[in-house]
Amino acid sequence: MNESYAERGYAERGYAERGYATGGQKRTRAEKSTRAGGAILAAVALLSTFLVLWGLYYATGTGERHKVALAAAGCEPNLLSVNVGCTTVWMLERQWTQLTTSDLQQLNADVADYTVNARRNLVKAESALTAEVTTAKAFDTSLAQFPFPPAVAPASNNLIQAIQARIKLTSEQARSSSLTQLRSFNARVNASGAAIQADLSLVHKALFTRPAVDQEP
């Protein structure tokens, strides 16, 4: 029995000792962990300081890299956007294609519709002309809003004027009272169409010609 008590006492004492040791180890671990936290924080703070300073240094070379990027990406330097500071030729091409594709297809469809009806159905021919005027007006508005760079501005103004002339002419044509009168406009309308085609080609050419780096404002 005594032995048993002694054993138990020893065991309890041992348990208590172990318990005390565990508490101490926990405290030591916590202190070590706190020190480790300081070390981690110091390391991360140093790394961050280096990166921030490097970032500021990198930012000082922005101007030079901007010029190189303009040349490399085929930027149109006269168009400044908020984010990248330039509009690339690729961007202009995409916007221009989006703008012209649907409107020109619709205009061609209206002209084809008019051609079919010009000799046999006055009402349908006039309806086609009215539709053409509506589409041409929408196209004209879109062109007026397109961010043409200054270098392209003269050609784009000519194009807009040519389209407005065509709209005026087509509107008059749509008010004709007979098929003969309607067809009498054809020569002038075709001439205005040729002028629009020429101006469109000029705008297209001017738009997609890559400017030199020194053209940057």
Partner 1 sequence: MSTTRDHERGPYAREQDLYPAERDIYPSDYESDVYPDSGVYPDDAIERWGSEGEPAADHQPRRPWSKVVDEWMEGRFKFGGAGVKRKTAALIVLGAWGFLPLFFMLPSLFTFNTNTIGGSVDDTLGTGAMVNLFMCLLITPAVTLTGQRWFVPLRRWYGIMFACCGIGDALGAAFFDDFAGNPFAKLVEHTFTLIGFLMVLLAIPLFITSNNWAQRKLGRYWKRLQRLTYVIWALLFFHLATLEGFGFQRGSNGSGFAGDGDAIFHQRLYQYCACSLFLLTFRLPPVKRWIVARQQEGRNRLVFMAVMPIFALFLFGFIFIVNELIFKGTHSFVENPSSE
List of residues contacting partner 1 (CB under 8 A):
30, 33-38, 40-42, 44-49, 51-52, 55, 58-59, 61-70, 73, 75, 81-86, 88, 90-91, 94-95
Indicate the residue among 24 and 38 with the shorter CB distance to partner 1: 38
Indicate the residue among 74 and 193 with the shorter CB distance to partner 1: 74
User: Around 39, how many Cα atoms within 13 Å sit in the side-chain half-sphere?
Assistant: 6
Cβ count within 10 A of residue 210? 14
Indicate the residue among 60 and 180 with the shorter CB distance to partner 1: 60
User: Measured from the CB of residue 33, what is the shortest distance to partner 1 in angstroms?
Assistant: 4
Please tell me the distance from the alpha carbon of residue 117 to that of residue 212, in angstroms, as a whole number.
50
User: Measured from the CB of residue 193, what is the shortest distance to partner 1 in angstroms?
Assistant: 29
List the structure tokens of 180.
Answer: 């003969």
61 contact partners, CB below 8 Å, separation of at least 6: none
Please tell me the distance from the alpha carbon of residue 129 to that of residue 62, in angstroms, as a whole number.
54
User: Measured from the CB of residue 207, what is the shortest distance to partner 1 in angstroms?
Assistant: 14
Indicate the residue among 6 and 51 with the shorter CB distance to partner 1: 51
* Of 60, 40, 173, 69, nearest in space to 114 by CA: 173
User: Measured from the CB of residue 200, what is the shortest distance to partner 1 in angstroms?
Assistant: 21
